[in-house]
Amino acid sequence: MTLGQSIAHSEYWHARALQIIPGGVSSPVRAFSSVGGTPRYFVEGRGSRVIDVDGNEYVDLVGSWGPMIVGHAHPEVVRRVTESAAKSSSFGAPGPNEVLLAEEMQRRVTAIERVRFVSSGTEAVMTAVRLARAATNRNVIVKFVGCYHGHADALLVQAGSGVLTLALPNSPGVTQGAAQDTVVVAYNDIEAITSLFAQRGSEIAAVITEAIPANMGVVPPIPGFNTLLSNLCKKYGALFILDEVMTGFRVSSGGLWSLVHAEESWTPDLFTYGKVIGGGYPVAAVAGAAKVMDLLAPLGAVYQAGTLSGNPVATAAGLATLELCDDELYAALNRRANEVGQVVSQALTEQGVAHRLQRGGNLFSIFFSPNEVRSFEDTQHQDVKQFAAFFHSMLSQGVSLPPSAYEAWFVSGAHSDEDLELIASASKVAAVEAARSANP
């Protein structure tokens, strides 16, 4: 792709979309609200590249927000999906693929005793919260500012991701009744969460946190933070819900928990998963201890259902993807994420652009701020105008970044040395544009 290449067809499709779809998009961050301009309409993906309706090709650092861990249209995933779809796209009945996928998840995460499949991360979290309330006979849920757990009413309070992009920290339509039992605490604030439990511990049903927050940009937990959360929950009889929708099976073969368990020795009561376990198809899950999970109907009284839950085609895609995620792939992802982050950081440094590269496993993001980012409040001090200039310059040179300063960047096993060279070259030009746009 060359600078100034036409996007007429993306503009055409977006104009049509605006007439029929609210904001022209089916998920808010896709609208380019925080960076301006016209969203690209993609029609094809091959490995590390995506192609828009105008025929422009981009190195993809979005990866459908994580699930394209082995690259777009991997031949084995395509083969398994095609084979399954040819037999029927849905039965509304049990099938072998969901059993095999659940067993593969359990093999990778030893703390998993039961798995219930749903179709989205929001559904998984909603189910986990319902289970926690039923198991404890309590109502209060604790979450952290900037962590995003889907758009269920009770958790759409001081959320991250697209909510930040649209400058809507809370959503209209969420009633006071739905939100009144949600308590929001600053992330990485040990004193605040300890004090909250001391005051209201007997009311708390669960604490939920992203394993590595990545919906306000990548903000890793400070050492011992997740251990503290687990210990507080045990002490006061609450459940600990670890949201691994983004990190699950991406930062390691068993997600964040499996990566740190040997050293930190804590175990959540419930996990939520999505993204990678569907390989680009709509699959998510809640998983965890049998004593809690078996409260779900039909064994227990906690109701949850879904016509397309455990869909045979989607679970075939997820199983094929996980089977491709071996130690060699994770080593490659870590290496490539480090390389991409470093070449972009170097380009910005050469132009005197203040920034901070932060990583959580192979998730990473660049904040246009010189200071370490440890909380949602810290993310608010970056220069989003600089990010927008950098983003559009990269896009015009054939590199697709997340269209928000508050998102993680993703690499895949398909990213090559050639891709890295293109990213490095584009970053040098984009850094100049970012420097020019700096706020006075």
**In b/e form, how buried is each residue of 334-368, taking b as 16+ CB within 10 angstroms?**
bebbebbbebbbebbeebebbbbbbbbbbbbbbbb
For the chain, give every domain's residue range: 8-69+328-364+385-435, 75-324
Establish how many alpha carbons lie within 13 A of residue 283's alpha carbon, considering only the half-sphere containing its beta carbon.
Answer: 28
DSSP 151: S
Amino acid letter, 413: G
Catalytic pick from 58, 143, 187, 275? 275
The answer to whether the beta carbons of residues 109 and 277 sit under 8 Å apart is: no
pLDDT for the residue numbered 172: 75
Beta-carbon contacts of residue 21 (< 8 Å; ≥ 6 apart): none
Q: Which CATH class is domain 75-324?
A: alpha beta
Q: Is residue 148 among the annotated active site residues? A: yes
pLDDT for the residue numbered 2: 45
Fold of 8-69+328-364+385-435: Aspartate Aminotransferase, domain 1 (3.90.1150)
The answer to whether the beta carbons of residues 57 and 51 sit under 8 Å apart is: yes
Task: Look up residue 224 and give its two tokens.
Answer: 């011992």
The answer to whether the beta carbons of residues 171 and 156 sit under 8 Å apart is: yes
pLDDT for the residue numbered 168: 37
pLDDT for the residue numbered 439: 63
User: Would you give per-residue pLDDT tens digits along the chain (440 residues)?
Assistant: 444 479 999 999 999 999 999 999 999 999 999 999 999 999 999 999 999 999 999 999 999 999 999 999 999 999 999 999 999 999 999 999 999 999 999 999 999 999 999 999 999 999 999 999 999 999 999 999 999 999 888 887 765 555 554 433 467 777 777 778 899 999 999 999 999 999 999 999 999 999 999 999 999 999 999 999 999 999 999 999 999 999 999 999 999 999 999 889 899 999 999 999 999 999 999 999 999 999 999 999 999 999 999 999 999 999 999 999 999 999 999 999 999 999 999 999 999 999 999 999 999 999 999 999 999 999 999 999 999 999 999 999 999 999 999 999 999 999 999 999 999 999 999 999 999 998 65
Q: Is residue 243 among the annotated active site residues? A: yes
Beta-carbon contacts of residue 247 (< 8 Å; ≥ 6 apart): 210, 211, 212, 214, 255, 256, 360, 361, 363
Reported as a single tens digit per residue, the pLDDT across 235-280 is 999 999 999 999 999 999 999 999 999 889 899 999 999 999 999 9
pLDDT for the residue numbered 411: 98
Cβ burial of 22 (10 Å; 0-12, 13-18, 19+) is exposed
Q: Which helix H or strand E contains 356, and what residues bound it?
A: strand 356-360
pLDDT for the residue numbered 213: 96
Reported as a single tens digit per residue, the pLDDT across 83-117 is 999 999 999 999 999 999 999 999 999 999 999 99
Q: Is residue 291 among the annotated active site residues? A: no
d(CA 138, CA 115) in angstroms, rounded, equals: 23
